[in-house]
Structure 1
Amino acid sequence: MKAKASAPTRRGILAGGNWIVDQVKVIDVWPQPEQLANILKQTQGTGGAPFNVLVTLARAGAPFPLWAAGMVGKDTLGRWILDTCRRYKINTRHLGQTPRAATSFTDVMTEQATGRRTFFHARGANALWRGEDLDFDKIRARIFHLAYLLLLDGLDQPDPKFGTRAGRLLARAHEAGMKTSVDVVSEDSDRYTRIVKPTLPYVDYCFMNEWEAGRTTGFKIRQPDGRLDVVTLRHAAGALLQMGVRELVVIHFPEGAFARTRRGEDVWQMSLRLPDKYVVGTAGAGDAFCAGVLWGLHEGWDLQRCLQTGICLAGASLSDATCTDGIKSLPHALGLARRFGFRPPLEELSQT
């Protein structure tokens, strides 16, 4: 029997899941029903975790191979996704095309004054993808990043042995010697316990924002006045490990990020102290953060450096209305920390 390739003998990141074209519209104001808002600017950009993560890594100069996995339609938007990946030297062998559905897209309405986003999403071809064609023994990537749970109809379905079809796919990748990573979409529903929770035992690295972590674990991480409850945040991270995450939980939020390992290591990293005029749009910041942390995990950096890299790439992404056009290079992103500095620690942290 052929020996499985272990993580040290593998190299690169395979990202699969939602492939989306974002139609980003900057508007002057969010309108009331039956009222008008002016579109001030419109751009087309990358959308969906695998697309954003891989393009962020490519634009930042990641020194390892990048693979794409998923499904797009046989249409203009699908060709644009494939052409974009090829331009960034992202391997598209496992990014299939189907005539059965259109390429997924999202209308992203970004308010000019605040950068706040509202999304109108068409699932399209992503709903059909299950990853059944992936041969993890032949794909030599070190990490398989799957996202977004709750937005992949074919993989969110129940599985009698692995909880969900996503769990089955992740288990296959892990058995072949890959590290597995997931991210979750923010959804106001009760599906977290039915879809996310049973998938976690097959996950090495779990990424969530504070909303998603709270919905999965049942903790209220934001206090009524909007402040972050750092004690509850720690409890939520611990609960996710108890639910089965193998190695690492990373929870990110506007104020920064928190990571807890299976070994009991806790690491905090505050976000950049960016001036208000710097922020053009917040779309893709979470994926840019994830890309930076995955880069560090792939290279074996210490956890603090991983979080700082993610924070700086997220900060760079905020300079543009699209998800990835704000990314120039890793040195450029890290330079933002020297230019603006990090936010001061939360008051609760300074007391512990």
Structure 2
Amino acid sequence: MTVTLNPAVDQTIKMNTGLESESVQRSVEAQFTSGGNGVNVSQFLQALGSETAATGLIGGFTGYFIEEDLDTYDVPTDFVWVAGVTRINTTILTPRKKYQLNQTGPTVDSDVIDELIEIVSQYEPDTLNIGGSLLPGMDAADVDRIATAGDWDTAVEVPGEVLAELDAEYEYCKPNRKELAAATGREIESVTECVDAAKTLQERGFECVIASMGSDGAVMVTPEETLYAPALDVEVVDTLGAGDSMLAAVLWAFEQGWDAERALRAGVVASAQLVGVMGSSVRELDPEPRLDEVRIWAMDS
């Protein structure tokens, strides 16, 4: 099950020219999809053929859109409705640059956490993924409350500043380079620096750390081993949702009983598929045919 504390409607606009100020321009393509870390992870788990359900906090006409959109992907939903309107995040793709504008979302109080915990407890998930940014009025303690409210393994993918303040123990953690740097206070320029920072997070109580570095690949640190996989060489259309697809594929792989090396391969392949399409949604994911294309290095533990 996934918990998205600050879902979004992702608006992706494609231009065939650069943006110009003081000018009215028209797009060549545009789309709206439901988004936010947990929402994306549930979509990808469904695309992988895994059983999933999505909850979180939604409101207004954009909240209705998210429910309806997830229904088209056959993702069961059970959201908590809040006052205000779920945010719209806009990505503009031009031939040379990518522009991204994310809204903040409505303000909530701590009562919504009790409602979320009640919903999650009814589903009794084996694994719970809590992901994305926090709404105004929330803090890291709210994430810890949800994670420790039941007998489930918890994966977390939240902003680095929030990650640094978490006190509970987590089975999985999936930061990107920026989040890893913010969580540890370190610069992450090399694979070695990424490994060292990921190990620091593991020492703080995150059992398995999957750190994505975009075109530089990904690192996985478990209690038994440290692995590095470079990214596959693919044409990049849009990076939106790539890290979420990596996390979904890794969780799916562990659910199948795969080892860490094979799970990391699955995550890298899924991410490569996502960057090849516009937006953050796909209806089918199948990492297995390309697993052997992913190279794996065992790093010194």
Q: TM-score, normalised by structure 1?
A: 0.75
**What are structure 2's unaligned runs of at least 5 residues?**
none
Cα distance between partner residues in 2 of 1:300 and 1:197: 30
The counterpart of 1:48, out of the listed 36, 41, 44, is 36
2:75 corresponding residue in structure 1: 90
CA positional deviation for 1:89: 3.1
The answer as to 2:278 corresponding to 1:335 is: no
1:198 maps to a residue whose letter is: E
Between the two proteins, the alignment pairs up a number of residues equal to 297
Cα distance between partner residues in 2 of 1:316 and 1:25: 20
1:71 corresponding residue in structure 2: 57
The answer as to 2:241 corresponding to 1:284 is: yes
Map 1:1-352 onto structure 2 (within 5 A).
13-31=1-19, 34=22, 38-62=26-50, 64=51, 66-75=52-61, 77-93=62-78, 95-98=79-82, 100-113=83-96, 117-125=98-106, 130-133=112-115, 134-135=117-118, 136-149=120-133, 151-156=134-139, 164-172=141-149, 176-185=150-159, 192=161, 195-222=162-189, 229-245=190-206, 247-254=207-214, 255-261=216-222, 263-274=223-234, 276=235, 279-325=236-282, 327-330=283-286, 333-336=287-290, 341-342=293-294
Q: TM-score, normalised by structure 2?
A: 0.87
CA positional deviation for 1:178: 0.2
Cα distance between partner residues in 2 of 1:48 and 1:33: 29
Counterpart secondary structure, 2:71: helix
CA positional deviation for 1:183: 0.6
Answer whether contact 1:24 1:108 (CA < 8 A) is retained. Answer: yes
Q: Percent identity?
A: 22
Q: CA RMSD in A?
A: 2.8
User: CA 1:58–1:243 in 2, change beyond 3 Å: closer, same or farther?
Assistant: same
2:66 maps to a residue whose letter is: I
The structure 1 segments of at least 4 consecutive aligned residues displaced by more than 6 Å after TM superposition are 349-352
Q: Deviation per CA, 1:54-94: give whole Å up to 9, x if none.
A: 111112322x2x1211121232x22221122233332222x
Answer whether contact 2:15 2:95 (CA < 8 A) is retained. Answer: yes
Task: Say which one has the larger Rg.
Answer: 1
Counterpart secondary structure, 2:88: strand
Q: Deviation per CA, 1:267-309: give whole Å up to 9, x if none.
A: 12222121x3xx2211111111111011123333201111111
Answer whether contact 1:68 1:92 (CA < 8 A) is retained. Answer: yes
Answer whether contact 2:147 2:168 (CA < 8 A) is retained. Answer: no
2:56 maps to a residue whose letter is: G
1:101 maps to a residue whose letter is: G
Cα distance between partner residues in 1 of 2:219 and 2:2: 24
Answer whether contact 1:30 1:37 (CA < 8 A) is retained. Answer: no
Counterpart secondary structure, 2:84: coil
